[in-house]
Structure 1
């Protein structure tokens, strides 16, 4: 495979995927963002993703993944399930959506192949994976092999954030010149609040701790 010039970014409109989107825009000549509607309670993230792509000139598509909501009830899709404030001692948090990253990357791969694109970019991180097993390096490398074998087409799944924490993710955004974009225009909050979020859910606390740690060193 020659040096890739195109990439598909799995894009939620949150801090991590938006940082990866701008990272990809620097690295590849053509970038397409792919979002997924799986019945998430904070559906404003899809509006957020659409607005970011329109504002910064990125081709954007939203795929219907409503079946995932039916198969895997969780606190991100069901109004009657509150998000765990703390990670459980055993098992995964109730904000974990079974199969989500596997399905998203699989559909992204199918989409990419039709466009003659070999590179998939996703914002998962083993350093800040919140107990989600499908954010681990071992899963990503396994799926990369599986997708390549399944379609007889070479895929490369790139994870720019895999080995860095939230503090370093904020630094990456700053180095890319999009710190304010990430802080003000993205939606990471499990309760659907843009920017700095609700401040109380696990996603907001993780994001805020990382930002405060980075800003304290940047001064």
Structure 2
């Protein structure tokens, strides 16, 4: 996998380079400031980008802006120091394919980080479990209110980007049971019949928009 990294912290940036190259991936470019990100993405057209939310010169949301601009063209995994659910919702609002939002602490859990990046590069989603936990504080009169506690658990794991087999292992149930819960989620959220992958994306977006 060819990857572009945007991170202003030199130690973390070099750590990401070492981590990814050790895992067999190629880091084709690194960016240390916000204005460097889009030119690097346009020049190298990587298979995925790992972008910090806050970058110089203003340390506000330069990485997020670059991610929003790039998400139509390539998979993007955004890193953040803190849980900022509004950023996660904004990032995924236009579609959840090939997008991820992780806390930087997750990088230290190498297998989890690499798995998340690979899911995103393959067109899936990867939401940090702590971000999902924050989203569990839902607004009143949400479509999610019709879901049972177990159905909300399943939807939260879908939002993290897990497939049915992983959800089944996490909840210690069979895949058949998971499939039934997901069907109930689709039905209760009023999602149209069609491609199951697309319906999963719509379910996650509903989860984000009403959490």
Q: Same fold (TM over 0.5)?
A: no
Structure number with higher helix proportion: 2
For normalisation by structure 1, the TM-score amounts to 0.31
For normalisation by structure 2, the TM-score amounts to 0.32
Q: Which has the higher contact order (CA 8 A, sep 6+)?
A: 1
